[in-house]
Amino acid sequence: MCSQPPKKTHDDRFAAFTDACLLAPERSVIGISGGEPTLFKAELLELLETVLGKRPDLAFHILSNGQHFEQDDVERLRQPCYQRVQWGIPVYSADHISHDQIVAKEGALARLEKSFCHLLAAGARIELRTVMLSDNYHDLPRLARYVATRLPFIEHWSLMQLENAGFAKNRWDALYVDHQQDFAPLGQALDHAILLGLDVRLFNIPRCSVPQEYRRHAMASISDWKRRYAPACAPCHERDQCGGFFEWHPKDADLKVVPL
């Protein structure tokens, strides 16, 4: 359920990407997204190994749908350099039908579970990502139990509010769910995750929209170049710890801001 529409053409620029990565500032974390990076898996893995072989101070965070990992990848991904790579992989529901409908691909969750087996065998570092939608919001507690019992090897679970961009912008009213109107499903999911020992984080969610007992999980996750604060945020004592809103988030959300 990538909110960004695909580009009409693809240019193979892996050589240029490799050179650019090698010029990164010291100790940078380099993000790679798509489209789907693992559609070019051989080129991607070669880039990672080349860059990390020459610049072991760097790290990578790669967004992937997780559909293309195979048993043949396990030995390669066991190389020490891949401990500097974290894979951000989405799961939207514990129910196969619901997950598959959200990503618009039949059999997607079943295939993803196979990939998780390969990644677990390789000792890969995984961030699990779940965007909250009207289609999956009330099933989040069940998903929390699924993650804790089936995927306990993940490094952390990121629960994310929807960004009003790309495909999501055109279907905003149908997809967006306001967690402030009914926090119970999200709160129950957090309770399950915390009780079962998961490191759970809230992304793209202002701190004042979360009850105090869960606020420690709310990350300042929105990049500064696309972050804005409502006028009411000015006196807030926790503004520096808060991600605020996306610049293009509907302005009616500003009315719900309560300075802390």
Tell me the domain boundaries of the chain.
14-203
| Amino acid 9: pLDDT | 59
Q: How many residues does the chain have?
A: 260
Residues 6+ apart with CB under 8 A from 224: none
Place of tokens 């306990």: 152
- Helix then strand count (H, E) for the chain reads 9, 8
Pairing of β 125-131 and β 227-228: unpaired
Q: Output the CATH code of domain 14-203.
A: 3.20.20.70
CA separation, residue 163 to residues 63, 131, 147 (Å): 16, 9, 23
At residue 6, the pLDDT reads 56
pLDDT along the chain (260 residues), means of 10: 55 87 98 91 97 98 97 98 98 98 96 98 98 97 97 97 88 93 97 96 95 95 90 92 88 80
Please provide the distance, in angstroms rounded to a whole number, between the alpha carbons at the two ends of the chain. Answer: 33
CA–CA dist 176, 159 (Å, integer): 14
The C-alpha atoms of residue 187 and residue 114 are separated, in whole angstroms, by 30
Contact 52, 83 (CB under 8 A): no
What is residue 19's predicted lDDT score, i.e. its pLDDT?
96
ω into 35 cis (within 30 of 0): yes
**What tokens does 189 get?**
């999911």
Whole-prediction pTM: 0.91
How many angstroms from the chain centroid is the CA of residue 109? 16
Please state whether beta strands 156-160 and 29-32 pair in parallel, antiparallel, or not at all (unpaired). unpaired
pLDDT number for residue 249: 87
pLDDT recorded at residue 34: 81
